[in-house]
Amino acid sequence: MTIITDERCTGYHAPGHPERPQRISATKARLRQQTDLPLQWTQPGEITDQDLLRAHSAAHLQRLEEPRDFDMDTAWLPEIHLHARRSAAAALTALQLALAGQPAFSLMRPPGHHATRDRAMGFCYLNNAAIAALAARARGVQRVAVFDFDVHHGNGTEDILLDQPGTLFVSVHQHPAYPGTGTSHRGSNCRNYPVPPATPATEYRAHLQHALADLETFQPDLLIVSAGFDAYIRDPLARQMLEIEDFHWLGAQIRSLGRPTLTLLEGGYSRDLPELIFAYLKGISGY
């Protein structure tokens, strides 16, 4: 497993905001001190406007540089467009590794799955998963799946990939919850599994298994995982009941699909995030 990160991604913050630098710094410290799982480390490579414009409009890229907040949750901050580009670049580095047979995890911020083609929202500025999926298609990968298990629906990824040939988007998420989308399947390729608040972990796993069955049926040549750890019982931004062992189980289930896989960090705002990520990485690595 290769971890992709860049220390500059902890160099911005909005006071009091839950999407804080410690999400990365604490996780990096936990992964560096552990001895159970062999890890390699690398930094993001380069990304071009062409890579971004497959998923986003030129107007959106320009808007990211304009010093006005995007919404109450998504602030404009100095150099936020550069931070977002590095996070998207990490997704492409993870893509390159996965296509070479090396599983990869992008430990970066900002997250991406709420960003639509034309709008930054929900802590997200550029849609890393969609950028990677469309880059893979442009490189000739025939069947690309995105599996989003963040507790909030990946509305932006759905917006960008809806009815895109050769792609599948599958999401398991709490509803009702932000952003209020994902109540039913959409188009020819977007499968949504909304889960009520406070669903017992055994029932939540059943919803995840429906999503995993969709992935198995699709038989992707590449699997992109939008990994949000906010369905955890002690996460402050949702009302679900998953424990640490559930994320290990989910990683193991993804591994059992036997597909080239890259994972991108989305949400997860509890103090236990480093342990949740570590459990997931052990599961997806077969430990």
The catalytic residue positions are 114
Q: Alpha-carbon torsion 100, 51, 129, 218, what sign?
A: negative
| CA atoms of 229 and 275, how far apart (whole Å) | 10
| CA atoms of 8 and 86, how far apart (whole Å) | 9
Type of residue found at 6: D
**DSSP of 49-97:** HHHHHTTS-HHHHHHTTSSS-SBTTB---TTHHHHHHHHHHHHHHHHHH
Among candidates 113, 29, 27, 125, which has minimal Cα distance to 77?
125
| CA atoms of 13 and 40, how far apart (whole Å) | 27
| CA atoms of 124 and 75, how far apart (whole Å) | 10
User: Phi-psi region for residue 222, left (φ > 0), alpha (ψ -120 to 50) or beta?
Assistant: beta
Please identify which residue in the block is written with the tokens 């960008």: 160
